[in-house]
A and B are shown apart, each in its own frame.
Chain A
Amino acid sequence: MKLSLRIASFSAPIIALAISFGLSSLILLFIGKDPIETFQIMFEYGIKGKSIVSIINRSIPLYISAIAVAVGFKMGLFNIGVEGQYLVGSIVAAFIGSQFSIITPLHILFIILIAVACSAMWAAIAGYLKVKKGIHEVISTIMLNYIGTGLISYSLTNVFDEKGSEYELPRTPELPDTGQMPALNNLFGLEDLQDLHGFLFVAIIVGIFYYWLVWKTTLGFDLRITGSNPIAAKFSGINPNRLIVVAMVTSGGFAGLVGLGPLLGYFHRFTIDFPTGLGFAGIAVALLGRNHPFGMGVGALLFAFLERSSQILDLNDVPKEIERMLQAFILLIVVVFYEVIRRFIVKQQIKDASKKVET
């Protein structure tokens, strides 16, 4: 691709960001707040040391969630059910992990494997329903989210609840020390700040693994070719049904890792306060980062930054919900601009090609 076109393709998210901030500013003006001051307060709060650790912690599950969604997106499969999948995986892993104690690396590996297996199985239901029953994955995964939520709230009170605990609300037993992931603060010399989750390393490995899987393996090739041209993929001998199930299970497997950052690094048990909504946020990040491991990383950091920095707004009498609007604006406008720029680039390439043919 020519340099000018490369620059053009990078301009889409920047334009989208600018427009989104513009729109949010208008809304802030409309409700009688000073937009420049508001964004300044957010920025100053967001770059404090404490905030940065919190932003990184928050971006870990967001990033993994985005990757889970992106695996499906790559072949045109919409796994909207990451939300349910990671919660199902997290609660089972939290419970089983709390029942025994072995040396730390093995214990953590075991918890990870359980979470991945459970979430992948939950996702496999949607794959099965699509292949065998022709139910669109958007409908089935959404329905499975609700079913999963119901099952979780039932099993949390009746099956996985900590026995003989004085605590009023249901929660799973705490993970033993060996099952808790150590923080990284000593490594980076951040002793005076809150814990930086050790799961950061896993997130980075997952990002690299995702890149390898999608761009360097046959499975990844099959995914990409099916996504960009399903008919060509079929004629090249790819079994679409098998691929749908494999993609769904892989996506669900990644989803299993989403809840583990908070679980192993901070909560150490599954409670009613366990973070939800990461699955839906992951969809936004995947769209923003265009399914690219690096782009999604930037997207996850950006969303985590907005979430964290907006926390200060209520103290300044600005509704912090403006951040949700801002995120949603960015998402909607960015998908529009990606399409506009994509069409522009295709047009330019056709022009260039025809010029070459002429000369």
Chain B
Amino acid sequence: MTQNIFRSIFRRYIVITPILLVLIVAQMEEYSQLTTSGTFGAAIRLAIPIMLAGLGGLYSEKTGVVNIGLEGMMIMGTWFGAWGGFTFGAWQGVFIGMLGGALFGLIHAIATVSFQVDHIVSGVAINILAAGVARFLNVIAFEDIAFASSTASPRITGDIGKLTVPYLAGGNINGEETSNFFGYIEDLNIFLVSDFAGLVLGFLSNISHLTIFALAIVPLSVLVLWNTPIGLQMRSVGEYPTGSESLGVNVYLMKYIGVTISGALSGLAGAYLVIAGTGIYLEGQTGGRGFIGLASMLFGNYKPFGILMGSGLFGFADALQLRSPKAVHGLLVIIAIFLFVLALKTLFEKKYIPSLISLVLSSGFLIWFLNSESIPNQFVYFTPHITTLIVLSFSNQRIKLPEKIGVPYKKGELS
């Protein structure tokens, strides 16, 4: 009994301690960048593509198709988004980017559903195909255009538009600036309250219309997947295709829909990177975010709001590395303390070797923190990737996978 209580406390500890530590460290002058509205705003911008890719993974995997090709579909989204954005305008670019992603989703569906190719093999092939296609298209589409090269597109035309909420975050009404309630609180520097205001302000000020559009997909996905007949059919196909077939569900069609939506959302993720981010297509700009999206889906336990949380976490790590390498240095002491408590935890559970390892690592991080001013740029670059591995290491306990995930289904065959 007591052990259970301790265990549940420790389980929450994994989530709560880092947040508390971040808050405490953020109170120090040097590391105050950790929780400003600017950092949170950047975190949201960086989280959205990961979240969209994660949602894309969700639609596909709920229908039982593993989608490793998210990254490739995202690449198509970046290129088609940039091409559409350059040729027609920002919103058209978003739409064309989604179409490009959906097209590759469709290819994945044809390979895995109609031809029963191994899902991971097909996904890997999709990723390689997308990289090749994007490079080729970029060369032939922008051959004679200035500021374009074989690995970069010209800048998109038009602007997607931004919103700052009036009164709460100081947005304009009829051209006049209004009061900035949360900004005022943030400047007061009260422990916890100001940090929270920073978080809210990040959501309310200077927010791209595309961000709002993307965030709206989260509740929409809950609605579609869990509250509509077609959502039920899609989920049933991932759990028990033979049974669904016997009840008259068109299994192949549901899988096709799921994987194509998955492609469209990944395409949107890629288009977001271009249109709300860099403004141009760059080769390799997705940087493994499709896979991080997949990780956020696992972290979020196959739930849209969980995916939002997970991508927020990865976006935060990404934002720190972009906005304030100094703040990443502050993370070192957080990791050190975290590992120290972990060492105590494992010691309590009588796992001596992991405890010792945690202790050694903890002191290592502490020594590093005390003997350095900042983290080398090259290390800062992979903060999101290492965060992904660390987060997945601590959060994989109770994931409920769709029953028939990754199993090719052929009509009339028992699986």
Contacts and interface: CB of A to CB of B under 8 A. Distances in A.
Contacts of B122: 332, 335
* Secondary structure call for the A interface: helix
Given A143-B388, A325-B133, A343 B116 contact: yes
A147 B126 contact: no
B124 A283 contact: yes
A80 B294 CA distance: 15
* Secondary structure call for the B interface: helix
A324 interface: yes
Interface in A323-342: 324-325, 327-329, 331-332, 335-336, 339-340
A328 B127 CA distance: 9
A142 B290 CA distance: 11
B223 interface: no
Q: How large is the interface on A (under 10, 10 to 19, 20 to 34, 35 or more residues)?
A: 35 or more
B124 A143 contact: no
Contacts of B128: 280, 283-284, 327-328, 331
A187 to B, nearest CB: 35
B382 interface: yes
B228 interface: no
A339 B115 contact: yes
Contacts of A140: 389, 392
Contacts of A133: 392-393, 396
A324 B136 CA distance: 8
A102 B378 CA distance: 34
B73 to A, nearest CB: 14
A283 B128 CA distance: 9
Interface of B: 68, 107, 111, 115-118, 120-122, 124-126, 128-129, 131-133, 135-136, 139-140, 143, 150, 287-288, 291-292, 294-295, 298, 376, 378-379, 381-382, 385-386, 388-389, 392-393, 396
30 contacts: A133-B392, A135-B393, A135-B396, A136-B298, A139-B295, A143-B295, A143-B385, A145-B288, A146-B287, A146-B381, A147-B386, A147-B389, A150-B382, A280-B128, A284-B125, A284-B128, A287-B125, A319-B143, A321-B135, A321-B136, A328-B128, A328-B133, A329-B129, A332-B107, A332-B129, A335-B122, A335-B125, A336-B117, A339-B115, A343-B116
Interface of A: 31, 78, 80, 129, 133-136, 138-140, 142-147, 149-151, 153-154, 157-158, 280, 283-284, 287, 319, 321-322, 324-325, 327-329, 331-332, 335-336, 339-340, 343
